[in-house]
C-alpha cells in the first residue's frame, strides 16, 4: 500500500505547481481573450481547491480514534473526493454557459498567445498527473486529485487545438467549441468520482472484491464448517472491512477457536488486503434442533459463541 506521507508530498508538489500556473493562465486568458484558456483556468481553480481539499482530508486520516469517532476520521478522504466531484460539475456548468454565449457572439482570440500558454499548461498537468498516479494506490481521495489533473491535461490539449485553429485558419469559433469538449470531459470524470464515493458512503462492497470469493477462502479452512452474516464495506476508500459469523467444526477449546480466528484473519489480510475484520466464532449453526422451537437472540437464532 502506498504510504500516506508519500501521498501528501505528491499533493503538495501538485498544489504548488498548479497554483502558480493558474495565475499565469488567468492572465493569459484575459490578455489573449481566449475562453478555452479561461475555461481551463477555471478548471485549474477547481484543481487548486480540490488539491487543498485532498490535503486536508489526507491529514484528517491520521487523526487517532476517539470515543466519539471510534474509527478515527477514515472517511474524511471520501468526503473530500465527493466535494471534488461536485466542484467539477459546477465548473462544467460555467464553461458551457460561457461557451454557448461566445458561439453566438464570436470574440477575436489571440491564437499565438493561447497556444504558448496551453502548451506550458499541458506540461504542468501531465507532470502533476504522473506524480499523483504513482502515489494514488487505492485511495479515492488521491484518485479525485489525479482525475482533476488528467482532465486538465485533456483541457490543455483542447486549448492547444483551439490555438492552432485560430493561428492557421483564423477559426475563432473553435475556442468555445473546445471549451464545451472540456466541459464534457469534466462531467464524465465528476460522475465517475461521485458514483464511487457514494458506493463507499452507502457501505457497498469494495470495488473489485467478490463476497463469494472471500467466503470461499474462509470456508476452505479445515476448522470452518460454514459462514453466514458476511458483510464487506470500506472504512476509507483504501481500507476494506469485514464482519462475519464463522461456525467452527468439532468441540474446540477457547484457545483453539481463537487460533482459528487468528488464522482466518491472516488469510483475509494476505489474500484480500482486509485488515479490519470482526469474526464471531460459533460452535454450531444458527438452526435449532428439529424438536426445539427457534429462539431469536441478537438477530439470529440462539447459538453458542466463543
3-state secondary structure 50-89: HHHHHHHHHHHHCCCCCCCCCCCCCCHHHHHHHHHHHHHH
Q: Is residue 306 part of a domain?
A: no
Angle, to 10 degrees, between the axis of helix 76-104 and the axis of helix 174-201?
A: 160
Average pLDDT score over the chain: 80
Q: What is the CATH number of the domain that holds 265?
A: 3.30.70.1350
* Amino acid 304: pLDDT: 46
Last residue of a domain, one of 148, 173, 201: 201
Spatial distance between the Cα atoms of 78 and 144, rounded to a whole number of angstroms: 9
**By the 8 A CB rule, do 238 and 252 touch?**
no
Q: What is the pLDDT of residues 225-278, one digit of tens each?
A: 999 999 999 887 778 899 999 999 888 888 889 999 999 999 999 999 898 899
Burial class of 242 by CB neighbour count within 10 A (0 to 12, 13 to 18, 19+) = buried
Residues 122 and 154: their CA atoms lie apart, in Å, by 8
Per the structure, the complete domain to which residue 286 belongs is given by 211-301
**206 lies in a domain?**
no
Angle at CA of residue 132, ends 87 and 13, nearest 5°: 90
pLDDT in tens, 276-295: 899 999 886 655 555 555 54
Q: Tell me, yes or no, whether 221 and 281 share the same domain.
A: yes
Q: Is it the case that residue 134 has pLDDT exceeding 50? A: yes
Average of per-residue pLDDT across 171-184: 81
Spatial distance between the Cα atoms of 223 and 230, rounded to a whole number of angstroms: 17
pLDDT value at position 187? 85
- pLDDT score recorded for residue 103: 77
In this structure, how many other beta carbons lie within 10 angstroms of the beta carbon of residue 272?
19
Q: Cα–Cα distance between 52 and 4 in angstroms, integer? A: 15
Closest by CA to 281, choosing from 304, 252, 306, is 306
- Say yes or no: 133 and 237 in one domain: no
The angle subtended at Cα 126 by Cα 91 and Cα 3, nearest 5°, is: 95
Considering the domain architecture, whether residues 138 and 85 belong to the same structural domain is answered as yes
Quote the pLDDT of residue 278: 93
Confidence at residue 245, expressed as pLDDT on a 0 to 100 scale: 94
Into how many domains does the chain fold?
Answer: 2
Query: How many helical (H) and strand (E) elements, i.e. helices and strands, does the chain have?
Result: 8, 5
Residues 159 and 137 grouped into a single domain = yes
pTM of the model: 0.67
Cell numbers given for 87: 466542484
* Residue 227 included in any domain: yes
- Beta strands 296-297 and 300-301, pairing class: antiparallel
Please give the share of the chain, as a percent, with pLDDT higher than 70: 84
> What pLDDT sits at residue 106?
65
pLDDT higher than 70, residue 3: no
- Do 28 and 58 fall into the same domain? yes
87-127: per-residue pLDDT in tens? 888 888 888 887 888 777 766 767 787 788 888 888 888 88
Domain CATH number, residue 156: 1.20.1510.10
Query: Among the three residues 153, 172, 201, which one is the final residue of a domain in this structure?
Result: 201
State the pLDDT at residue 265: 95
Q: Which residues contact 192 (CB under 8 A, 6 or more apart)?
A: 147
Q: How far is CA 274 from CA 17, 70, 236, 249, in A?
A: 36, 18, 12, 24
Give the number of C-alpha atoms closer than 13 A to the C-alpha of residue 250, restricted to the C-beta side. Answer: 9
Same domain, 127 and 238: no
Mark whether 159 and 93 lie in a shared domain.
Answer: yes
C-alpha cell read off for 127: 507532470
The span from the CA of 39 to the CA of 57, in Å, is: 26
Q: Is the pLDDT of residue 202 over 70?
A: yes
Instruction: Using pLDDT thresholds of 50, 70 and 90, give the confidence band for residue 306.
Output: low
pLDDT at 185 over 80: no
Asked if 169 and 217 sit in the same domain, the reply is no
Amino acid at each position: 500500500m502506498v504510504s500516506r506521507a508519500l501521498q501528501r508530498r505528491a499533493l503538495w508538489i501538485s498544489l504548488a505547481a498548479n497554483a502558480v500556473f493558474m495565475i499565469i493562465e488567468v492572465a493569459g486568458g484575459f490578455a489573449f481573450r481566449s475562453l478555452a484558456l479561461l475555461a481551463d483556468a477555471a478548471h485549474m481553480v477547481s484543481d487548486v481547491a480540490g488539491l487543498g481539499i485532498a490535503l486536508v482530508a489526507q491529514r484528517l486520516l491520521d487523526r487517532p480514534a476517539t470515543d466519539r469517532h471510534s474509527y478515527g476520521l477514515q472517511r474524511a478522504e471520501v468526503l473530500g473526493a465527493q466535494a471534488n466531484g461536485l466542484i467539477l460539475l459546477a465548473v462544467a456548468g460555467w464553461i458551457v454557459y460561457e461557451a454557448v454565449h461566445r458561439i453566438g457572439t464570436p470574440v477575436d482570440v489571440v491564437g499565438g498567445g493561447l497556444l504558448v500558454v496551453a502548451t506550458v499548461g499541458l506540461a504542468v498537468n501531465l507532470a502533476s498527473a504522473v506524480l499523483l498516479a504513482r502515489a494514488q494506490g487505492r485511495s479515492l481521495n488521491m484518485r479525485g486529485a489525479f482525475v482533476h489533473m488528467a482532465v486538465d491535461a485533456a483541457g490543455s490539449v483542447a486549448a492547444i487545438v483551439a490555438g492552432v485553429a485560430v493561428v492557421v485558419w483564423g477559426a475563432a469559433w473553435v475556442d468555445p467549441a473546445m471549451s464545451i469538449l472540456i466541459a464534457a470531459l469534466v462531467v464524465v470524470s465528476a460522475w465517475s468520482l461521485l458514483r464511487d464515493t457514494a458506493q463507499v458512503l452507502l457501505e457497498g462492497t469494495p470495488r473489485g472484491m467478490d463476497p463469494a470469493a472471500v467466503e470461499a477462502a474462509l470456508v476452505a479452512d479445515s476448522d470452518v464448517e460454514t459462514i453466514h452474516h458476511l458483510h464487506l464495506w470500506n472504512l476509507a476508500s483504501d481500507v476494506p472491512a469485514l464482519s462475519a459469523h464463522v461456525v467452527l467444526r468439532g468441540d474446540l477449546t477457547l484457545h483453539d477457536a481463537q487460533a482459528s480466528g487468528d488464522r482466518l484473519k491472516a488469510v483475509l489480510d494476505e489474500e484480500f488486503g482486509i485488515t479490519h475484520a470482526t469474526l464471531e466464532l460459533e460452535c454450531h449453526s444458527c438452526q435449532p434442533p428439529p424438536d426445539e422451537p427457534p429462539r431469536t437472540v441478537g438477530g439470529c437464532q440462539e447459538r453458542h459463541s466463543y
